[in-house]
A and B are shown apart, each in its own frame.
Chain A
């Protein structure tokens, strides 16, 4: 019925003037119906659990049974807990290195794939394959390569450095995690860079050629400044994703050797089995605040630059 009223009300105005009296229009109930399922499910799935988690971070709950309020004890303990510090240090260091590696590799590949080469489509298709493979399965495959094939190859060639598994070395296991994470993350980043490079008009390069620019000059003076916005997007998106690292680490080292490669996400999840429910909820809340800070930084940067 309400549709009928809007239809009849809209008919004369549409013929007479463009700017129909929008403000006078009542919102049709159907729009609420369209929005409601998303709002309800979303609230139950994410904000409610988040609030429950924050609430329990002020208690001594172990997940089931009785609990008491303990104030900020969990937070105080968390801030002086070497295990938590280690997981933050590891995760941030890992995310930083991986972001650099992924962006450098993806950018170079994108430059190559947008230059005058043969088999452009085919090569691009191959480089994107890792994107469609599950992280945990990639990690299992690389786990085998790192712990069996690489040491075997090292022994055959006689390089003592390679003879022991990378994954068994507490100081170097993170390198393997960076390699595998990069292997999977390069395609997405690559596609964004390709879009950025293709958006650069060709006549800019022609003008540079006429002015006698060298290849390096073209790269540093034209290409890089013109894709700067895409670099910002890729770095921020990547960093945010890598901070949540879980799947690939579980498949490669499962946090080991010892706890040397245990990420923040993995530490939080230990609260599920270890009886540290409330304590790890405090950790999760801290992590949430950190994520919000990074995300707001992202918003201010992307809005400010007015990137694509």
Chain B
């Protein structure tokens, strides 16, 4: 669908390259690459086709969904799948849980990592702070599967076998990487700026919140995007930590369609669509930020 529009637009506008008085070598390369554009547009099919199938399956009737033609358009158009999926997965509660876990993880990660990085960087000459930095960074060596079993037990004992526990653990798994990003960024902020704030009588607390934290905003965005992607999409940790199925996040709820209702494809795909749509919509509105943030974070980390 989108592919056709993508390929036709360039050919319509043709080679409307502004003539430039540059060298001939330069000019020949200034023309846009038609084959390349068409080729890449065709490649988007690999991304869009699974999404197209998801959307079209979701709007089919149960009868049409099992006919084996995944690529056909829904006829008649039906929202029956959405109605059933909404009830079966208890969508509002799932969405609320996912939003809570994601918002909690993003906020906690930014907050804890920012203040910890600030303390570390401004006291780097103190051994305690330097060692804390390497200690926190050490967690990059410990993936979740390694500590999963003891964590399941511990969270169970502490009454944290719920979304709150997932927020705490997800934040801690994001911490090393986020501290790394914040400390790298803090190094580029001149200390003189803070010293002048202090001369004006600001306390460290005020200096941080009024001056440093706002300056950290670009890095906070990057850290937040990574925390968002992790917390919103993760399946493994919530599925193991949250013991009450009624409090599960959206991705984990989709398991339902593997065990029961496995032939009601329109219902399951409607459910998948509802679970992935919020992040896709959010991404489409913030894509430039997301891409910049991810690039920055990945290259620095």
Q: Which residues of B contact A268 (CB under 8 A)?
A: 145-146, 148-149
Contact with B240, one of A121, A142, A264, A272 (Cβ below 8 angstroms): A272
Those of B114-159 within 8 Å (CB) of chain A = 115-116, 118-120, 122-123, 125-126, 129, 132, 135-136, 138-154
**With contacts A152-B69, A291-B141 known, is A137 near B276, CB below 8 A?**
yes
Those of B5-24 within 8 Å (CB) of chain A = 6, 9-10, 13
Question: Smallest CB-CB separation from B205: which chain A residue?
Answer: A30
Q: Does A96 contact B (CB under 8 A)?
A: no
User: Roughly how many angstroms separate A44 CA and B152 CA in the complex, as a whole number?
Assistant: 13
Q: Does A226 contact B (CB under 8 A)?
A: no
Q: Give the Cβ gap from B197 to chain A, nearest Cβ, in Å.
A: 10
**With contacts A118-B10, A272-B152 known, is A137 near B147, CB below 8 A?**
no
Q: Does A56 contact B (CB under 8 A)?
A: yes
Q: Does A223 contact B (CB under 8 A)?
A: no
Are B195 and A295 touching (Cβ within 8 A)? no
Q: Give the Cβ gap from B255 to chain A, nearest Cβ, in Å.
A: 8
User: Roughly how many angstroms separate A273 CA and B203 CA in the complex, as a whole number?
Assistant: 53
**With contacts A38-B175, A137-B272 known, is A117 near B36, CB below 8 A?**
yes
Are A247 and B140 touching (Cβ within 8 A)? no
Question: Smallest CB-CB separation from A199: which chain B residue?
Answer: B299
Q: Which segment of A65-73, A77-85, A158-166, A190-198 sits at the interface?
A: A190-198
Question: Smallest CB-CB separation from B257: which chain A residue?
Answer: A140
Are B53 and A149 touching (Cβ within 8 A)? yes
Contact with A247, one of B195, B232, B236, B257 (Cβ below 8 angstroms): B236
Are A135 and B29 touching (Cβ within 8 A)? no
Are A118 and B9 touching (Cβ within 8 A)? yes
Q: Which residues of B contact A28 (CB under 8 A)?
A: 204
Q: Give the Cβ gap from B137 to chain A, nearest Cβ, in Å.
A: 10
Q: Does B2 contact A (CB under 8 A)?
A: yes
Question: Smallest CB-CB separation from A243: which chain B residue?
Answer: B143
Chain B interface size, under 10 / 10 to 19 / 20 to 34 / 35 or more: 35 or more
Are B141 and A292 touching (Cβ within 8 A)? yes
Q: Which residues of A contact B250 (CB under 8 A)?
A: 134
User: Roughly how many angstroms separate A53 CA and B150 CA in the complex, as a whole number?
Assistant: 6
What DSSP secondary structure best describes chain A's contact surface? Answer: helix
Q: Which residues of A contact B152 (CB under 8 A)?
A: 272
Contact with B9, one of A109, A119, A195 (Cβ below 8 angstroms): A119
User: Roughly how many angstroms separate A251 CA and B258 CA in the complex, as a whole number?
Assistant: 9
User: Roughly how many angstroms separate A2 CA and B100 CA in the complex, as a whole number?
Assistant: 38
Contact with B172, one of A45, A138, A246, A295 (Cβ below 8 angstroms): A45
Q: Does B88 contact A (CB under 8 A)?
A: no
Q: Which residues of A contact B25 (CB under 8 A)?
A: 206, 209-210
Q: Does A232 contact B (CB under 8 A)?
A: no
User: Roughly how many angstroms separate A182 CA and B125 CA in the complex, as a whole number?
Assistant: 44
Are B29 and A209 touching (Cβ within 8 A)? yes
Are A39 and B150 touching (Cβ within 8 A)? no
Q: Which residues of A contact B291 (CB under 8 A)?
A: 124-125, 128, 191
Q: Does A157 contact B (CB under 8 A)?
A: no
Contact with A269, one of B69, B136, B145 (Cβ below 8 angstroms): B145
Which of A35, A39, A152, A265 has the largest number of chain B CB atoms within 10 A?
A35
Are A35 and B132 touching (Cβ within 8 A)? yes
Are A145 and B150 touching (Cβ within 8 A)? no
User: Roughly how many angstroms separate A267 CA and B35 CA in the complex, as a whole number?
Assistant: 47
Q: Give the Cβ gap from B238 to chain A, nearest Cβ, in Å.
A: 10
Q: Does B283 contact A (CB under 8 A)?
A: yes
Q: Does B79 contact A (CB under 8 A)?
A: no
Contact with B along A106-147 (1 / 0, CB 8 A): 000100110111110111111111111111111011101100
Q: Does A308 contact B (CB under 8 A)?
A: yes
User: Roughly how many angstroms separate A192 CA and B291 CA in the complex, as a whole number?
Assistant: 10
**With contacts A35-B119, A118-B10 known, is A123 near B172, CB below 8 A?**
no
Q: Which residues of B contact A300 (CB under 8 A)?
A: none
Q: Which residues of A contact B147 (CB under 8 A)?
A: 46, 49-50, 53, 284
**With contacts A123-B6, A152-B68 known, is A277 near B144, CB below 8 A?**
no
Q: Which residues from chain B sit less than 8 Å from chain A, CB to CB?
A: 2, 6, 9-10, 13, 25-26, 29-33, 36-37, 39-41, 43-44, 46-48, 50-51, 53-54, 57, 68-71, 112-113, 115-116, 118-120, 122-123, 125-126, 129, 132, 135-136, 138-154, 168-169, 171-173, 175, 179, 195-196, 198-199, 201, 203-205, 208, 229, 232-236, 240, 250-252, 254-255, 257-258, 265, 268-269, 272, 275-276, 279-280, 282-284, 287-288, 290-291, 294-295, 298-300
A112-B43, A133-B233, A134-B276 known, 8 other contacts, Cβ within 8 Å: A27-B126, A45-B169, A46-B173, A119-B41, A123-B37, A134-B234, A145-B70, A291-B146
The 9 closest A-B pairs by CB, nearest first: A49-B150, A265-B145, A34-B119, A45-B172, A149-B70, A136-B235, A134-B233, A38-B116, A34-B115
| 9 contacts across the A-B interface (CB closer than 8 A) | A31-B123, A45-B173, A49-B151, A112-B43, A117-B33, A134-B234, A183-B46, A183-B50, A230-B299
